[in-house]
Amino acid sequence: MITAASEREAHSGPGSDAEPRAVAIADGVHWVGALDPTLRRFDLILRTANGTTYNAYAVRGEQGVAVIDTVKAEFAAVFFARLEQVARYDEIRVIVLNHLEPDHSGALPELMRRAPQAKLVISKRAPAMLKALLKADDQEIRYDTVDTGDEIDLGGRRLKFLHTPYLHWPDTQCTYLAEQQILFSGDVFGCHHCDPRLFNDRVGDFRFAFDYYYAHIMRPFKTYVLDALRLIEPLPLKLIAPTHGPILRERPRRYVARYRELSGADAALEPVPADAPPHFTLLVFYLSAYGSTARMAEAIAAGAESVPGIRVSLYDLEGGEVEPFVDLIEPADAIALGSPTLNGDAAKPIWDLLSSLAVVNLRGKVGAAFGSYGWSGEAVPMIEDRLRGLKLRVPVAGLRLKLIPTDDELADCHAFGRALAEAVTGSGAQAGPTTRPVIEYANLT
Ligand code: FEO
């Protein structure tokens, strides 16, 4: 039951863990989430200088209450304390889970126990995850799946669903409260930034956190981001209520525009003419201790350039930061990485670059490795293994040679580059391993 007193209290902020308060974000719509200000690393990989929030919401209609998402299990107590300020458990008609990752579903089992009449509402991709999460089968769980265009009428308030898979798991969806033009967006438009002032017009500057979150969570799924934007952009939007970070009520559409910008969608505004020749890109990165791997890189680049329809760029990793190179690799068709072998390993900048590629969708790109070595030469096969692990195709066997390349060996490098380019462009018969003999690994120790 909402009272005037609880509304006043809600407007004063979320309170402390000892005295948590629900916060009204619109008429009959409350934030009932949790603050986690001391978290410094999320999911092991994301740094969180300001901690994070687990945002959950309660929407009241004339015919019941919808709870939209829950919180991480450790924060269940404050979630329930806030929820109880704005609804009785027997009023809860539906529990909408926009995303089943444990930071949003941790309090679900207990909520189901407290509100056993409530129907779970999940995306069409979520049932298998739900069953795994609850360790239960179909007979034991009451749930409905929804898709884009489906809606639930709470009485004077309709929840409409948008299927937005892979943002950030396959199960994810967004929920739109039509009458109040509020988008409950799940991880989309979220960020790890904890500030008890909650709203984007009150909190500190979180632009870095917003872009950082996009780069690590959404960027690998850009095509799905663009699909989601096609559903979201036509909606009238007064407020975006994500599951992490500030609630976006001041100029919410600018965050939608930022997603489009970060997704590089402006290229779509200028389509490539149908009669334009195919254009492929190969990026050759290298490190070189004494110049041998650099000479290999130059010969490989020259060989690749001799194939029509491919543009080759050559970069010395010694001279650049990793992040801009990641931006180059994302739209490229192929990469070749050259490293000497140092203490039985590739050089560290190679690994730095490869580990940074986890945020990029690499599936189907072509990869290759090369390098000069002193006596053991492990770097090349190690790089190839990692490229395969990142889902790149490695159609041309890696090329390595001992110490300073001879003219014949540089000719091999040229042929290697040519074979690589042919594998990328699909030209010639070189879609598989190069036909030029490459240096055999077997004779190396
Ligand atoms: Fe915030 Fe993908 O969970």
- Please report the atom of ligand 1 found closest to the CA of residue 101: 3
Is 36 close to ligand 1, i.e. is its CB under 6 Å away? no
327 pLDDT band (50/70/90 cuts)? confident
Determine the Cα–Cα distance for residues 324 and 214; give it in Å rounded to an integer.
Answer: 16
Is 243 close to ligand 1, i.e. is its CB under 6 Å away? yes
| Mean of the per-residue pLDDT values of the chain | 89
> Tens digit of pLDDT for each residue in 47-70?
888 899 999 999 999 999 999 999
- Res 324: pLDDT: 83
Question: Whose Cα sits closest to atom 3 in ligand 1?
Answer: 101
Class of domain 4-262: alpha beta
Is 69 close to ligand 1, i.e. is its CB under 6 Å away? no
- Please report the atom of ligand 1 found closest to the CA of residue 186: 1
Determine the Cα–Cα distance for residues 214 and 207; give it in Å rounded to an integer.
Answer: 11
> Tens digit of pLDDT for each residue in 193-245?
999 999 999 998 899 999 999 999 999 899 999 999 999 999 999 999 999 99
Nearest in space to 228 (alpha carbons), one of 210, 208, 242: 242
Is 101 close to ligand 1, i.e. is its CB under 6 Å away? yes
- Please report the atom of ligand 1 found closest to the CA of residue 217: 2
429 pLDDT band (50/70/90 cuts)? low
Residues of the chain with CATH 3.40.50.360: 280-425
- Res 427: pLDDT: 86
Is 244 close to ligand 1, i.e. is its CB under 6 Å away? yes
356 pLDDT band (50/70/90 cuts)? very high
- Res 11: pLDDT: 52
Lowest pLDDT segment from 116-130, 158-172, 359-373, 417-431: 417-431
Nearest in space to 87 (alpha carbons), one of 107, 108, 71, 65: 65
**C-alpha 150 to ligand 1 mean position (Å):** 23
Is 222 close to ligand 1, i.e. is its CB under 6 Å away? no
Most confident of 126-130, 248-252, 311-315, 427-431: 248-252
Structure tokens at 240: 């975006």
Is 103 close to ligand 1, i.e. is its CB under 6 Å away? yes
Nearest in space to 173 (alpha carbons), one of 112, 110, 127, 111: 127
- Res 441: pLDDT: 28
140 pLDDT band (50/70/90 cuts)? confident
Nearest in space to 158 (alpha carbons), one of 190, 121, 133, 110: 121
- Res 362: pLDDT: 93
- Res 437: pLDDT: 29
15 pLDDT band (50/70/90 cuts)? confident
Topology adopted by domain 280-425:
Rossmann fold (3.40.50)
Nearest in space to 79 (alpha carbons), one of 51, 105, 52, 48: 105
Cis peptide bond prior to 99, omega within 30° of 0: no
Average the pLDDT over 286-309 and give the result: 95
- Res 321: pLDDT: 79
Residue 92 has pLDDT above 70, yes or no: yes
Residues of the chain with CATH 3.60.15.10: 4-262
**C-alpha 99 to ligand 1 mean position (Å):** 7
**C-alpha 401 to ligand 1 mean position (Å):** 46
Residue 33 has pLDDT above 60, yes or no: yes
- Res 445: pLDDT: 22
- Res 339: pLDDT: 97
**C-alpha 395 to ligand 1 mean position (Å):** 36
**C-alpha 189 to ligand 1 mean position (Å):** 11
Residue 1 has pLDDT above 50, yes or no: no
- Please report the atom of ligand 1 found closest to the CA of residue 187: 1
Determine the Cα–Cα distance for residues 271 and 279; give it in Å rounded to an integer.
Answer: 14
**C-alpha 102 to ligand 1 mean position (Å):** 8
Average the pLDDT over 387-415 and give the result: 96
Average the pLDDT over 365-369 and give the result: 97
268 pLDDT band (50/70/90 cuts)? very low
- Res 428: pLDDT: 63
Rg (CA), the chain: 27
**C-alpha 133 to ligand 1 mean position (Å):** 14
Is 157 close to ligand 1, i.e. is its CB under 6 Å away? no
